[in-house]
Amino acid sequence: GSDHQNGFLVPDNLTRLRDYTADGVQRSLEESLGRLKLDAVDILWIHDPEEPTDRFDEAISGAVPMLNRLRSEGVISAWGIGSKDAAMLRRFVDHSDPDLIMLAGRYTLLEQEQVGLMSACQVKGVGVIAVGVFNSGLLAREEPSEGAWYEYGPAPKWALDRTRQIAAVARDHGVSLPEAALNFPKRHPAVVNVMAGMRSVAQVEKNLALASSEIPEAFWNDLRTLGLLKEEV
């Protein structure tokens, strides 16, 4: 859609077409290469194959063989799957040969339930790009406000309570909550990149500073002791 405030305009007749067939992948890539005036791209992504309905079978029989072919021909350097649905990502990791997954908001300082997916990626040599690491902005401030959001809606009580507990431990160690949130995913050996949304040069500089911070090991240990960080993380 359009974002008039930031000068991003998209004609109303251009809408998203979800096509996970081999032809769909090839056509999409050819059109993108034409617009970019390139002969090859680095990474091609299968995006949200679970929305609005499960398209795994279509992608695994159509898109995946085409992506493997494009990779072998050097048209793309790598391919991956991006989603916030960890179960869907695990299916691709188990049944295909991606180079990367992009996991949105499911391996964060607040949520570490997807340790199994992370371990599977590590075993298979699939790199993880962690995105949504601030959990909709909940971890982007020193202390979450009452009006904080989570998953496109008001943050539930459990998320606010847990975030405040983590923030208190962070303060005890002289660490800011955003610092801890941005550095947490990097501790897993499967994570090859952490991405955060930025809208200005100032935000880029701030995030670079946060990501370069040294977090004391005692902070992570205290989180484990309090049950705020899984033992296996």
Q: What is the pLDDT of the chain when averaged over all its residues?
A: 94
Q: What is the pLDDT of residues 200-220, one digit of tens each?
A: 999 999 999 999 999 999 999
pLDDT, tens digit, for every residue of 164-210? Answer: 999 999 999 999 999 999 999 999 999 999 999 899 999 999 999 99
Mean pLDDT of 126-144: 95
In a domain, 8, yes or no: yes
Tell me which H or E stretch contains 129. strand 127-131
Give φ, ψ of 125 to 5 degrees.
Answer: 75, 30
Give residue 10's pLDDT. Answer: 73
Whether the predicted pLDDT of 56 surpasses 70: yes
Specify the pLDDT at position 91. 98
Q: Which range marks the domain in which residue 40 is found? A: 1-104
Report if residue 209 sits inside a domain.
no
Structural domain contains residue 144: no
Banded pLDDT at 2 (limits 50, 70, 90): low
Q: Specify the 3-state DSSP secondary structure of 53.
A: coil
186 domain residue, yes or no: no
Query: With 90 as the cut, is the pLDDT of residue 3 above it?
Result: no
- Domain membership of residue 166 (yes or no) is no
59/157 Cα distance (integer angstroms):
37
Domain of residue 51, CATH code? 3.20.20.100
Instruction: Say what percent of the chain tops pLDDT 70.
Output: 97
Q: Which residue has the higher pLDDT, 5 or 133?
A: 133
Domain count within the chain? 1
pLDDT higher than threshold 90 for residue 51: no
Q: What is the pLDDT of residue 161?
A: 96
Burial 123-160 (b: 16+ CB within 10 A, else e): eeebbbbbbbbbbbbbbbeeebeeebebeeeebeeebb
pLDDT score recorded for residue 128: 99
Q: What is the pLDDT of residue 16?
A: 78
* Rounded Cα–Cα distance for residues 22 and 56 (Å): 13
Q: Is residue 146 part of a domain?
A: no
Q: Would you state the pLDDT for residue 80?
A: 99
* 177: in domain: no
| 199 neighbors 138 (Cβ within 8 angstroms) | no
For residues 87 and 117, what is the distance between their CA atoms, to the nearest angstrom? Answer: 8
Would residue 90 count as lying in a domain?
yes
